Amino acid sequence: MTKLRVATTWLDGCSGCHMSLLDIDERLIDLAENIDILYGPLVDFKSIPKNLDLALVEGAVSNEDDLKKIQKLRKRSKILVALGDCAVTANVPAMRNQFGVPAIMERAYEENADLNPMHPNTLIPALLPRARPIREIVPVDVFIPGCPPPADVIYHALCELIEGRIPDLSDITRFGL
Partner 1 sequence: MSSKVRIFTFRIDDRDVSAREDESILTVAKENGIFIPTLCHVDGLTPVGACRLCMVEIAGRPKLYPACVTKVEEGVQIITKSDRLTRYRRTILELIFSERNHVCSVCVSNGHCELQSLTQKLGMTHIHVPYRFPNLEVDASHDRFIMDHNRCILCTRCVRVCAEIEGAHTRDVMGRGVDTRIICDLNQPWGTSETCTGCGKCVHVCPTGALVEKGKSASEMAKQQEFLPYLTIMREEKE
In sequence order, what E strands does 68-160 have? 77-83, 127-132, 142-144
Nearer to partner 1, 45 or 175 (CB): 175
Nearer to partner 1, 143 or 155 (CB): 143
H helices present in 60-150, as ranges: 64-76, 85-89, 101-106
Which residue type occupies 29? Answer: I
Nearer to partner 1, 36 or 141 (CB): 141
Q: Smallest distance, Å, CB 60 to partner 1?
A: 11
Q: Smallest distance, Å, CB 135 to partner 1?
A: 6
Q: Say how far apart CA 8 and CA 27 lie, in whole Å.
A: 18
Q: Say how far apart CA 93 and CA 109 lie, in whole Å.
A: 17
State the residues that interact with partner 1 by CB under 8 A: 82, 85, 88-92, 94-95, 97-99, 130, 133, 135-136, 140, 143-145, 147, 168-171, 173-177
Nearer to partner 1, 111 or 171 (CB): 171
